[in-house]
Amino acid sequence: MSGVSERPLAAESRGEAPGRGRLRERRILIVGGGQDERDDPDPPMGNGRAMSILFAREGADIAIADRRVEAIKKTIDHIAADNLAREGSAFSVVADVGQPDDIRQMVVKAREGLGGLDGLVYNVGIGGGMGLEGSTPEIWDRVFAVNLRGAMLTLQAAMPVLADGSSIVLISSIASMKPGSRMPSYDASKAALGGLMRHAGIEGERRGIRVNIIAPGLMDTSIGREATRGRPNRAKTPVPLGRQGTGWETAYAALFLISDEAAYITGQTIAVDGGMTGLR
């Protein structure tokens, strides 16, 4: 993409590094831990599924929430097949974050099933409406209901029951920082997560609850591949590190922020984008 010679991916980038116990005894809800494979016959690992597998591998007990039970089941099957993960480290919670009642029940079920909560990831995002001309009120409201209102309601339900010292990670996009998706509703809703993060961070500060954002760039996921099919020049976007990212690379950034290794980090946005926002 940028003239950088192709290099072999690190074990972490491939999802093949062993667990190191970085989340031992943690109880984490991952919202959007299934995967929309978009009918891809050989789908790459998505962000939510990678986080679920990695967190279990690192010793956490996790509740995987998604609106599609079959997507959750596939993630749990991956965890069971991962010989680096502990047995019984994941269970499913079916919820549609576009429905406020589902969100409240999701948090209750996760807390009850895990015996408490000290970590939360909101990994949900939809788009629609190309350009201002293609953006209708209905599309705008649906995208904001899922991408932003759903995040707010999840935080509203979770903050009172999260343990002191917990960590929250919201998954945004570099579309919140620079133009790229060409979908105003997506770009605007992902940008607005920054304001929500900062407010939640202020509410959580006295209890040591940290809130941060990860903004992935061009990632080789099923959704990313579908976007490229619709806009082929996406694949030619110059990335300083010379390639698209993997779902595992998003997952490792989330692992850092969820873990105590990031105990002094809150209110921050980390771009996992191969240098696109910082160098281009």
In CATH, what number is assigned to the domain containing residue 70? Answer: 3.40.50.720
pTM of the model: 0.93
**Does residue 217 lie within any of the structural domains?**
yes
Rg (CA), the chain: 18
Kindly state whether residue 5 falls inside one of the protein's structural domains.
Answer: no
| Distances in whole angstroms, Cα of residue 176 to Cα of each of 119, 199, 233 | 24, 17, 20
Token pair recorded at residue 122 = 């909101």
Query: Domain range holding 38?
Result: 22-279
Q: According to the model, what pLDDT value does residue 86 have?
A: 58
Go through 224-243 and write b for each residue having 16 or more CB atoms within 10 A of its CB, e for each that does not.
bbebbeeeeebeebebebeb
Name the strands in the sheet holding 27-31, side by side, starting at the edge strand that comes first in the sequence: 90-94, 61-66, 27-31, 117-122, 162-171, 210-216, 269-272
Query: What is the per-residue burial (b if ≥16 Cβ within 10 Å, else e) of 69-101?
Result: eebbebbbebbeebeebbeebbebbbbbbeeee
Q: Between vectors from CA 143 to CA 131 and to CA 252, what angle results, nearest 5°?
A: 100
- The pLDDT score that the predictor gives to residue 142 is 97
Residue 191 neighbours by CB distance under 10 Å: 16
In this structure, which amino acid lies at residue 100? P
* Number of structural domains the chain divides into: 1
What is d(CA 61, CA 115) in angstroms, rounded to the nearest whole number?
10
User: Is the residue at 107 inside a domain?
Assistant: yes
Q: How many CB atoms lie within 10 A of CB 112?
A: 11
The CA distance from 223 to 102, in Å, is: 24
- The answer as to whether 7 is a domain residue is no
40 within a domain of the structure (yes/no) = yes
pLDDT at 233: 74
- Maximum distance among all Cα pairs of the chain, rounded to whole angstroms: 51
E strand or H helix that includes residue 278: helix 276-279
Under 8 Å CB-to-CB from 118, ≥6 apart: which residues? Answer: 26, 27, 28, 162, 163, 165, 166, 167
How does pLDDT run along the chain (280 residues), one tens digit per residue? Answer: 444 447 789 999 999 999 999 999 999 999 999 988 777 788 899 999 999 999 999 999 999 999 999 999 999 999 998 866 554 479 999 999 999 999 999 999 999 999 999 999 999 999 999 999 999 999 999 999 999 999 999 999 999 999 999 999 999 999 999 987 899 999 999 999 999 999 999 999 999 999 999 999 999 887 777 777 767 777 778 899 999 999 999 999 999 999 999 999 999 999 999 999 999 8
Is residue 244 a part of any domain in this protein? yes
Q: Using N-to-C axis directions, what is the helix angle for 69-81 and 47-57, rounded to 10°?
A: 40
Domain membership of residue 33 (yes or no) is yes
pLDDT at 243: 93
Pair 126, 148: CB distance under 8 Å? no
CA 171 – CA 245 distance, rounded (Å): 15
The answer to the question of residue 8 being in a domain is: no
Residues with catalytic function: 186
* pLDDT score, position 229: 72
How far is Cα of residue 52 from the mean position of the Cα atoms in its chain? Answer: 10
